[in-house]
Every structure is written in structure tokens, then in C-alpha cells.
């Protein structure tokens, strides 16, 4: 039997567009390693906040980043970043981090710091026996893996996304973050040329998962 092709699926979209729930379900269905790059930006933002570095002070950001060691920890299908040997806890999803993360994420220094680390997850997935990698974020299909087998851009109505976050009991300025993420100079949030756009505003999570699964199946068994 021939071994099936190792696949890379890039999932981009705005805040609360359904990227994580969709990616997690697909990772389990297809034996892919799931990587949430938003958690990378959140974890590094939290670390920078802990050492009292401001996003306005780029030299201090650089200096603080040079002292951080990042690694990977795998649990089930999910690969988590470790910062100085620790898996970040729920505080990376706090309101304080929600308010700052887009400012730090706009800094080329932080994006460069995380670039190779994100690409290195392919090797982590291969060596750990996964059938592929599903990585979610804002610039995965445009910058990190422009040659991914599937580049998905998940869109959902901002009002629907705010409702989703409210249901989760999370206070998150979804539109404000999107506005900052879309307007930054480096790696802005955008539907990359040639990516597959899926408007999930009027779809259930199950419908989104089935739709994307059908696209992945076409890649695996054309």
C-alpha cells in the first residue's frame, strides 16, 4: 500500500471566525497535527507584558525576545508552544491579552521571531507520525505556507462572531482586533490570492466541517 501524501492545510480568518473549532475537528478526522498560531502571539504577548515591555519600545521587545526560549509540546492532535519550558495557561485568553495582542503582532520583530518556529511545525508533525498539519492564524496561507495543499479563508459576519464570543462568556473586541490585524503593514489579515473562501455566517459548525472535509478528501484521494 502506498503511504498517503503528507498534507498542509492553512486556515486563516478574523477573530472568532470558527478557525479553532473547525481545525480541531479536522485534525482528528484526518490525523493531522493542529497548530493554533494565535496562541503563539498570545503567549509571547503575555510574556512581554509580564516583563513590562511596551509594544512602542521595539528595542526592548527585541531584547526580551532574545531571552525567550520556545519549544513544542504535543498532546493528542494538538501541538502547543512552550515558553521557557512552560505550556501557556488560560491567561493568554484574558481581556488584558486580547487588548494588547494585535499591537505586538503588528511588530515585524515578533513576526520574524515566530516565522521559522511556525514553519518548523511541519517537521514536528512528520516526526510524530501525523498525516499532515493544519495550522490556523492570519497569515498562514499568505506568508507561512503559501504552497499549502489547501488554503482556506474562513469568513463570518462580525455580528455573528461577536455573538459566538459572548456565548463563550469571553469579552473580546473582535472587530477592533480585525481592524488592526487587517491594516498592519507586515502580514496583514487578508484572503490570499487563490485561497478558498468560505462564508460560514449562516452555516453550523458541522456544515463547515463537512464542507472542508470534502475538499481535504479530494486532495488525499483525487
Q: List, as one string, the DSSP characters of 73-105.
A: EEETTEEEEEETTB---GGGGSHHHHHHHHHHH
| 33 touches ligand C5P by CB under 6 A | no
Cell numbers for 37: 498560531
Nearest-approach distance from CB 164 to ligand C5P, in angstroms: 12
Residue closer to ligand C5P (CB basis): 88 or 137: 137
Nearest-approach distance from CB 132 to ligand C5P, in angstroms: 18
Residue closer to ligand C5P (CB basis): 22 or 37: 37
Among 139, 141, 145, 154, binds ligand C5P (CB under 6 A): 139
Nearest-approach distance from CB 67 to ligand C5P, in angstroms: 21
Q: How far apart are CA 129 and CA 121, in angstroms?
A: 12
| 47 touches ligand C5P by CB under 6 A | no
- Binding to ligand C5P by CB under 6 A, coded x per residue (else -) over 80-109, reads ---------------------xx--x----
Among 49, 161, 177, 198, binds ligand C5P (CB under 6 A): 177
Cell numbers for 207: 456544515
Cell numbers for 69: 526560549
The closest of 66, 69, 75, 61 to 27, measured between CA atoms, is 75
Q: How far apart are CA 215 and CA 222, in angstroms?
A: 10
Contacts with 149 (C-beta within 8 Å, 6 or more apart), sequence order: 5, 7, 8, 9, 132, 219
Residue 198 vs residues 33, 126, 152, 153: alpha-carbon distances, Å: 22, 28, 7, 6
Among 47, 100, 138, 151, binds ligand C5P (CB under 6 A): 138
* Part in contact with ligand C5P (CB under 6 A); list of ranges 1-9, 49-57, 138-146, 151-159: 138-146
| 148 touches ligand C5P by CB under 6 A | no
Q: In the complex, which residues of this chain contact ligand C5P (CB under 6 A)? A: 15, 37-38, 41-42, 101-102, 105, 137-140, 177, 181
Amino acid at each position: 500500500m502506498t503511504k498517503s501524501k503528507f498534507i498542509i492545510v492553512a486556515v486563516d480568518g478574523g477573530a472568532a471566525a470558527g478557525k479553532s473549532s473547525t481545525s480541531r475537528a479536522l485534525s482528528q478526522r484526518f490525523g493531522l497535527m493542529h497548530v493554533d498560531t494565535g496562541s503563539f502571539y498570545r503567549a509571547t504577548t503575555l510574556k512581554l507584558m509580564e516583563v513590562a515591555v511596551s509594544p512602542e519600545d521595539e528595542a526592548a521587545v527585541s531584547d526580551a525576545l532574545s531571552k525567550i526560549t520556545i519549544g513544542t509540546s504535543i498532546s493528542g492532535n494538538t501541538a502547543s508552544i512552550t515558553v521557557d519550558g512552560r505550556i501557556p495557561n488560560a491567561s493568554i485568553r484574558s481581556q488584558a491579552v486580547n487588548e494588547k495582542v494585535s499591537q505586538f503582532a503588528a511588530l515585524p520583530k515578533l513576526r520574524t521571531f515566530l516565522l521559522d518556529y511556525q514553519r518548523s511545525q511541519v517537521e514536528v508533525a512528520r516526526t510524530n507520525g501525523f498525516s499532515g498539519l493544519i495550522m490556523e492564524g492570519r497569515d498562514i496561507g499568505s506568508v507561512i505556507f503559501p504552497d499549502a495543499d489547501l488554503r482556506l479563508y474562513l469568513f463570518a459576519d462580525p455580528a455573528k462572531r461577536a455573538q459566538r464570543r459572548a456565548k463563550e462568556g469571553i469579552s473580546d473586541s473582535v472587530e477592533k482586533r480585525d481592524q488592526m490585524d487587517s491594516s498592519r503593514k507586515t502580514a496583514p489579515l487578508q484572503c490570499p490570492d487563490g485561497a478558498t473562501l468560505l462564508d460560514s455566517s449562516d452555516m453550523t459548525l458541522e456544515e463547515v466541517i463537512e464542507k472542508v472535509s470534502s475538499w481535504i478528501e479530494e486532495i488525499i484521494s483525487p
